[in-house]
Chains A and B, each alone.
Chain A
């Protein structure tokens, strides 16, 4: 991954955009219009071939109404259901 100037390599960002988009039953084109990017960019984001800027990441999280860390991660993301069960167990254990 390149930064805006194409010189510095950055870490790969994993995300759940495709999962949340499908859950909300909207197309890539519709999501692209909402967050103000080209629809191909949504494809690049979903395939994790492009790291969004902080501004774009916040736009996406604001649209889904979820915290950024639930959508993006620097480590491979587990299926959402596993994460919910883990969270539930953590809360139950306290």
Chain B
């Protein structure tokens, strides 16, 4: 997969998370009509499909979760850079969500957002490598 396609699938992957969250809160508000359940399931399938396509098939997941011993010096450098950027990005995402909930007086974040944050925390370094590197 070339970089252009990788970028496209990374966008699709993260858009599907936003979709899952939006549909989840819509479903909660309207007491889960069938159409909303179908949309939620479809966006979940899209998330899994795009995850396999962009993170598993390209070996990005393997590289970002590999032990330092199994990476060479260039790969280590690439991972260190991506971790640096993903740390900053993740901090901003978490702060925006936490402050957003606090300002809107919505109480603590719920399990769906927590699960999405966990997913983002695990995939963000790989996504940054996929976004920036010509060849993986």
A positions within 8 Å CB-CB of B? 2, 4-6, 36-38, 40-41, 43-44, 49-50, 52-53, 56
Contacts and interface: CB of A to CB of B under 8 A. Distances in A.
B72 A36 contact: yes
A6 B81 contact: yes
B111 interface: no
Contacts of B77: 2, 4, 6
A8 B66 CA distance: 26
Interface in B55-113: 71-77, 80-81, 84
Contact of B80 (A6, A41, A53): A6
Interface residues of B, dominant DSSP? helix
B84 A50 contact: no
B76 A41 contact: no
Interface residues of B, number: 13
B9 to A, nearest CB: 20
B81 A37 contact: no
19 contacts: A2-B77, A4-B80, A5-B80, A6-B77, A6-B80, A6-B81, A36-B72, A37-B73, A38-B74, A40-B74, A40-B135, A41-B72, A41-B73, A41-B74, A44-B135, A49-B134, A50-B74, A52-B73, A56-B73
A40 B74 CA distance: 9
B81 A38 contact: no
Contacts of A44: 74, 135
B136 interface: yes
A50 B72 CA distance: 12
Contacts of B84: 6
Given A40-B135, A40-B136, A2 B75 contact: no
Given A5-B80, A56-B73, 5 more contacts: A2-B77, A4-B77, A36-B72, A41-B73, A43-B135
